[in-house]
Amino acid sequence: MVQDEKSIVTPWEVSGDLDYAKLIKKFGTKPFDETLTNKLAKLTGGDIHPMIRRGLVFSHRDFDWLLSHIESGGDFALYTGRGPSGDTHLGHLVPWFFTKWLQDKFDVELYFQITDDEKFLYNPQYTYDQTIGYAYKNIEDILAVGFDPEKTKFIIDSQAGPKFRKLATEISKRITFSTVKAIFGYNESTNIGLLYHPAIQAAPCFYPSIIHGRKIPVLIPAGIDQDPYWRATRDIAKKMGYYKPVALHSEFIPGLEKGGKMSSSNPNSTVFTTDTGKVASKKVNRAFTGGRATIEEQKRLGGDPGICNVFSWYRSSFEEDDTALQKRWDDCKNGDLMCGPCKMDLADRVVLFLEMHQSKKEDVADLIESSIIRV
């Protein structure tokens, strides 16, 4: 858990001005550098995902070790997750599309945890039935990303099977109150369900080893807000006879309004996968940009794409072509591109994406039951 005067980054809250170089230091992770990119490219036939090319995957734990492990013929499983506290938003989808790319490149299993218990325990306003309901709605969004249905398994915490529960209990015996207090900031008034949750979120790190009856490391692509869980898990992995989980951390996609990441708690700043095209378009057209006060000024002085949320959205997900992205940056800086058309173009791309995503969701409804693992 990292909290200073400018920002808060915990598994439950991310807000303020995020300085990623500082987060690396505070979380004690390593920067994702060019050596890693080159090593990865050797294993993917030279293909590198835009999130890596553009520095959006900024930090890691032991990814260099995992690449050497793969080079020498070892396999691994992917693990990521979602806390179902409402509808899915576009910010969630960004690391999931990256996870799909990893699954496609390495042809590996993905264990996707849905922490309906955590969201129930953390949010006073939810009943358990509500978060369980969101779990199913969120799984539709996740499957619509296009993960391999044969190799993707959802662990819904409220329905996890006996092997999973046994594993979580074994983990919980090795994590003390003083550890979770130090890592998560828990105190005497934290409910005891939340005190146990780190064991539940750690369990998928070792679950593939249990399922396959041999040691398999996991790679976790996620935001750095979830890293405290991996710290706690890494401390006990060796003692329990498993590999330490490997993590990749990606940047947070900002909301449309000024400041902070895209988050369900601010619906005006956030595009949900359930939004209609009209609603989404309206939100995008009201976005905070790096534009000047007047068109005349912007033509003369240029805009600032470096602080612009609209540019951020192009960079993270709505412009795949690096040359076109660079041109957008230059045209903005030179005063040749105004915010109005830039926002309208983004709104059109968002609407098109939503239409495609919503129609894919209809196609995956049949896959949900068979994708849930309950052993």
- The β-bridge partners of 8 are 3, 15
- On whether the CB atoms of residues 340 and 176 are closer than 8 A, the answer is no
Comparing CB distances to ligand TYM, the nearer of 244 and 292 is 244
**Number of residues in contact with ligand TYM, rule: CB under 6 A?**
23
- On whether the CB atoms of residues 262 and 253 are closer than 8 A, the answer is yes
Judged by CB under 6 A, the chain residues 279 through 308 that form the site for ligand TYM are none
Listed residue (316, 318, 366) closest to 139, CA to CA: 366
To the nearest whole angstrom, how small is the minimum distance from the Cβ of residue 331 to ligand TYM? 26
Judged by CB under 6 A, the chain residues 96 through 125 that form the site for ligand TYM are 113, 115, 118
To the nearest whole angstrom, how small is the minimum distance from the Cβ of residue 67 to ligand TYM? 20
To the nearest whole angstrom, how small is the minimum distance from the Cβ of residue 198 to ligand TYM? 10
To the nearest whole angstrom, how small is the minimum distance from the Cβ of residue 220 to ligand TYM? 5
Query: Could you say whether residue 319 binds ligand TYM (CB under 6 A)?
Result: no
Query: Could you say whether residue 223 binds ligand TYM (CB under 6 A)?
Result: yes
Comparing CB distances to ligand TYM, the nearer of 40 and 222 is 222
- On whether the CB atoms of residues 354 and 280 are closer than 8 A, the answer is yes
Among 108, 143, 222, 284, binds ligand TYM (CB under 6 A): 222
How far apart (Å, rounded) are the C-alpha atoms in residues 309 and 21?
A: 20
Widest pairwise Cα distance in the chain = 67
Query: Could you say whether residue 227 binds ligand TYM (CB under 6 A)?
Result: no
Lay out the site mask for ligand TYM across 7-46 (x = CB under 6 A, - = otherwise): ----x-----------------------------------
Query: Could you say whether residue 81 binds ligand TYM (CB under 6 A)?
Result: yes
Name, in order, each residue with C-beta under 8 angstroms of 88's C-beta and a sequence gap of 6 or more.
82, 137, 138, 141, 142, 272, 273, 274
Q: Which one of the spans 102-110, 219-227, 271-279, 321-329 is the region binding ligand TYM (CB under 6 A)? A: 219-227
Comparing CB distances to ligand TYM, the nearer of 95 and 303 is 95
Among 66, 236, 253, 284, binds ligand TYM (CB under 6 A): 253
Structure tokens of 145? Answer: 């990303």
Name, in order, each residue with C-beta under 8 angstroms of 241's C-beta and a sequence gap of 6 or more.
215
Judged by CB under 6 A, the chain residues 169 through 208 that form the site for ligand TYM are 201
Query: Could you say whether residue 80 binds ligand TYM (CB under 6 A)?
Result: yes
Q: Which one of the spans 176-184, 223-231, 232-240, 365-373 is the region binding ligand TYM (CB under 6 A)? A: 223-231
To the nearest whole angstrom, how small is the minimum distance from the Cβ of residue 123 to ligand TYM? 11
Q: Which one of the spans 21-29, 92-100, 331-339, 353-361 is the region binding ligand TYM (CB under 6 A)? A: 92-100
Query: Could you say whether residue 225 binds ligand TYM (CB under 6 A)?
Result: yes
Comparing CB distances to ligand TYM, the nearer of 96 and 337 is 96
How far apart (Å, rounded) are the C-alpha atoms in residues 14 and 92?
A: 13
Placement of tokens 């499957």 in the chain: 143
Which residues in this chain contact ligand TYM in the complex, by CB under 6 A? 11, 79-83, 91-92, 94-95, 113, 115, 118, 201, 220, 222-223, 225-226, 252-253, 261-262
